[in-house]
Structure 1
Amino acid sequence: MSTIQTVTYQNLGWKTAADIYLPPGFDEGKKYPAIVSTHPIGSCKEQTAGNIYAKGLAEAGFVVLVHDASFQGASGGTPRFIEDPAIRVSDIRFAVDYLQSLPYVDAERIGAIGVCGGGAYTVHAGITDHRLKALVSITGVNYGRLIREGFAQFQPRQLAQHIAQMRTEQAQGGEREVANLLPASVAQAQEAGLTDIDVLEATEYYKTARGQQPNGATSQLMSFSGAAMGWDAFLHAEVLLTQPLMVVIGDKPGGFGAFRDGWEIYSRAASTDKHIVVAEGWSHYDLYDKPEPVAIAMAKVVPFFKEAL
């Protein structure tokens, strides 16, 4: 079995908290390929990016670092619950820095994997940081597109105005309000008339014993979300995304758009070594932890990383 070490390391003006999953029979005198694993929006290192994908990759022989996002989980940074795509991508760069400082990591054999929003952050990190030699997106969601569309109910200018108003009020002494991104339960979601598969399944994952963790807060300081409005995870992919790439999606589309985003980045990437894996009959949140779709993903992801790293 893999073992886990909890570490902290310097980020910009705060510390990042991370777990390092070490492979069975780990020998500190050897050099290992390593992978950065990035959690979904509203999630934490103990959930799918950690206890499913980092664990599975470590058992396959990789050193895997899964970190809490800045301003979230056990990582530092204030105000709390900021979701800023540029900083989320910067977190991945700091994770690479840290891995490259470890004597048992081969600094030239580092890849990255991410789930949901973390999948698209991983893609963007690869576009802008070529220390990453291979990339995997698990049901990745382009948060910039999602906030302009789904979160804004396809009224992005109105949402931008609302964010501006909140920020102005808070700058003048108003209270910062942290929004919970999900209903408290599936029953509450259904009572509110919510029917989208992603919303219902996200609630079932995050708000029940299935996936619930103390730091999986599904919360966001929306007044600080203006930066995301103008962000695109796939910007310059046609020119700069040259590393081997694997995109894993389910074939049940939902409102968060992973099916659409998966095909888009697969099409746009300049990579000559690129693959798309469609888990037929499974949804976005099935790929978080359901054994059968996870097995479909890992059957492709492990050989991909072994060849690319």
Structure 2
Amino acid sequence: MQKSVKFKNRSWDVAANLHLPDHFDENKKYAAIICVHPGSSVKEQTAGHYAKKLAEDGFLALTFDASFQGESDGEPRDLEDPATRVEDIKCAVDYLTTLAYVDEDRIGVLGICAGGGYAVNAALTEKRIRAVGTVVASNFCRAYQEGETDPIQMLEAVGRQRTAEANGAEPMIVNWTPKSPEDAKQAGITEMDMVQAVEYYRTSRGAHERSANKLRFTSMGTTIAFDAFNLADYLLTQPLLIIVGDQVGAFGSYRDGFTLYNKAASKNKSIHVVKGASHYDLYDQPQATTEALAKLAPFFKENL
């Protein structure tokens, strides 16, 4: 069972879905897991897939649209702001503590792709999060630093665009990915992760009307410098489970997973490699996600 809810981040509403376990009883106390979506995604996509399955395992699972995106409020629209994304998670914890049927001492977080980076970063300073799971977690700054675009040139372009917008220009909205597999092919894109990103987000496989493929260009000014794992060697102390696939693409989640595993201060930490799975297989493909969930559900049951 699922119901639509809202919670506050500062002065605006964040739109969320609460996935309830079978035979839900509001007089009982449940462990809750916040499922954090990737960049460009919305709550109904891969985060919703994992939330639904975790609810079937007896957890209460919460998904939400990032502030400024999807059904959530906040201006300016289409902004990807790491600090606010992290605050969204903390506000989700706030919300869960107000529910009589949530055990506030048993709240965990699961993040997918960029949502994994945000989940980790939130857990550094949010100790009400008792356990952390990630699936193909991506650390933004590493991805940008190793991309085809020079980060200094990108930041200079961001500065020019901010100046233009301050002087009346229309906001620059760019695409996260090519608009279709045909567009990707025409652009000569053959790299596995990007090809599969288009297949997931821009076809019937995973497309959602509110996952609009829009990114405010000036977002790059903050995302490019956001190190999700900064201070994890001191502050990430919660139980930690990292899921990666061994089909390695340019997005780097395989390497990011091992970087996080080696860095985290957590005494209880493990990493599981799903053989034969790519980054996007772990978004929705049954064989890969079933294996991931077979590790995640027992991990959360043990630690929440």
> TM tier, shorter chain?
over 0.9
Aligned to 2:20: 22
For 2:51 and 2:109, locate their aligned partners in 1 and report how far apart those are by CA, in whole Å: 10
Query: Cα RMSD over matched residues?
Result: 0.9
Deviation for aligned residue 1:229: 2.3
Aligned to 1:148: 145
Q: Structure 1, residues 253-295: CA drift from partner, whole Å, max 9, x if none?
A: 1111111111100110011111111111110000000000001
Poorly superposed stretches of 4+, deviation over 6 Å: none
Instruction: Single out whichever of 24-33 and 183-192 deviates more from structure 2.
Output: 183-192
Please tell me whether residue 247 in structure 1 is matched to residue 245 in structure 2.
no
For 2:242 and 2:170, locate their aligned partners in 1 and report how far apart those are by CA, in whole Å: 40
For 2:244 and 2:219, locate their aligned partners in 1 and report how far apart those are by CA, in whole Å: 29
Percent of pairs identical after alignment? 47
For 2:160 and 2:186, locate their aligned partners in 1 and report how far apart those are by CA, in whole Å: 30
Question: Under a length normalisation based on structure 2, what TM-score does the superposition of the two structures give?
Answer: 0.98
- Residue 284 (structure 1) aligned to one of 267, 279, 295: 279
Please tell me whether residue 114 in structure 1 is matched to residue 111 in structure 2.
yes
Please tell me whether residue 127 in structure 1 is matched to residue 124 in structure 2.
yes
Q: Structure 1 unaligned runs (5+)?
A: none
For 2:170 and 2:74, locate their aligned partners in 1 and report how far apart those are by CA, in whole Å: 18
**1:247 counterpart letter in structure 2:** I
Aligned to 2:3: 5
Matched residue of 1:137: which SS?
A: strand
For 1:197 and 1:296, locate their aligned partners in 2 and report how far apart those are by CA, in whole Å: 21
For 2:20 and 2:237, locate their aligned partners in 1 and report how far apart those are by CA, in whole Å: 28
CA contact (8 A) 1:167 1:224 kept: no
Structure 1 residues 58-137: aligned runs within 5 Å: 58-137=55-134
Deviation for aligned residue 1:32: 0.3
Deviation for aligned residue 1:181: 1.1
Question: Under a length normalisation based on structure 1, what TM-score does the superposition of the two structures give?
Answer: 0.97
CA contact (8 A) 1:114 1:122 kept: yes
Aligned to 2:295: 300
Deviation for aligned residue 1:67: 0.6
How many corresponding residue pairs? 304
For 2:186 and 2:149, locate their aligned partners in 1 and report how far apart those are by CA, in whole Å: 23
Structure 1 residues 165-204: aligned runs within 5 Å: 165-204=160-199
Deviation for aligned residue 1:25: 0.3
Deviation for aligned residue 1:92: 0.2
Q: Structure 2 unaligned runs (5+)?
A: none
Matched residue of 2:168: which SS?
A: coil
**1:11 counterpart letter in structure 2:** N
Instruction: Single out whichever of 190-199 and 278-287 deviates more from structure 2.
Output: 190-199
- Residue 233 (structure 2) aligned to one of 235, 238, 258: 238
**2:73 counterpart letter in structure 1:** G
Matched residue of 1:225: which SS?
A: helix
